[in-house]
Amino acid sequence: MGRRAVQHHGIRGSAALATQPMAPAAVPAESLEPGEMRRLPFAGELLGAARVRSGFVAIPADAFDDAGPAMPPEAQAAYLHLIRLSYGEGRNWCRITKRDLERRLRLSERRLLRVLDGLVARRLARPLHRDNRGTLWRIYLPREAAGAPVGDGVLLGRAGDPGERRIRPRSEREPSTPPARSPSPGPLVRALAEARGELHPEGLDRAGREIAELLAEGQPVRRIAAGIEALRRRGASSQGSTP
């Protein structure tokens, strides 16, 4: 090594953490079941369930998991901001000025242009139009960039022509149908309690509260039922492996 010693920059608080033997039950929050709305104390914190109920955007996970690792940090940040402004707003495009992107990413104009050109080269973005409001970008999901369909996890609008943009007057619209009645949560409550092996009054009570919270948040019945079924299978699997 030369005269100048290389200084190690650690993470604050990390030096006090010794690597512990493998013990899955050591952190109680890691043993909570999916959908269990509890937080448990650990190291002076409460760890556990947290659901974002407002002020959030829907972003496909593969934007992080597939596209992210294949790009340098600045390109990842630019792509995720463009995804947030497009798919996060329910569309596959966004319009933004160069100045706004520079502010969001804290990049100089020269570096920003290099990053955006890299996204275009990776077929993750394509500029289509520019005016005083900024540049109109078509943003591509990783599957699209690879030439594959977006998959069932993303719902696309039907293809049409510009002449269909006219909004019909209220008098021309079809009468709205009354909203469907919410299904009874009873079967879900019993299924959850049974999957946990808690078919007793306290267990049914707890399952009832959790199912009510999930329905109040707007979770689809099908998704709740799928989660309960996964929990049931996991329980059955662990029982089958017990000697």
How much is the pLDDT for 243? 45
Amino acid in position 24: P
How much is the pLDDT for 83? 94
Tokens read off for 107: 């990049």
Taking the C-alpha atoms of residue 158 and residue 174, their distance in angstroms, rounded to an integer, is 19
Tens of each residue's pLDDT in the chain, 243 residues:
455 556 767 778 887 888 888 888 888 998 888 888 889 998 889 889 888 888 888 888 888 888 888 899 999 999 999 999 999 999 999 999 999 999 999 999 999 999 999 999 999 999 999 999 999 999 999 999 999 998 888 888 888 776 665 555 555 555 655 555 555 678 888 888 888 888 888 888 888 888 888 887 778 888 888 888 878 877 766 555 444
Query: What is the CB-side half-sphere exposure of residue 28 using CA atoms within 13 A?
Result: 12
Q: By the 8 A CB rule, do 48 and 101 touch?
A: no
Q: By the 8 A CB rule, do 30 and 40 touch?
A: no
How much is the pLDDT for 116? 96
Amino acid in position 112: L
Domains of the chain as residue ranges with CATH = 62-150 (1.10.10.10), 186-237 (no CATH)
Neighbours of 135 (CB within 10 A): 17
How much is the pLDDT for 56? 83
Q: By the 8 A CB rule, do 137 and 78 touch?
A: no
Instruction: Using a cut of 0.85, tell me whether the model's pTM lies above it.
Output: no
Taking the C-alpha atoms of residue 171 and residue 166, their distance in angstroms, rounded to an integer, is 14
List the end-to-end C-alpha distance of the chain, in Å, as a whole number. Answer: 56
Amino acid in position 20: Q
Can you tell me whether residue 115 is helix, strand or coil?
Answer: helix
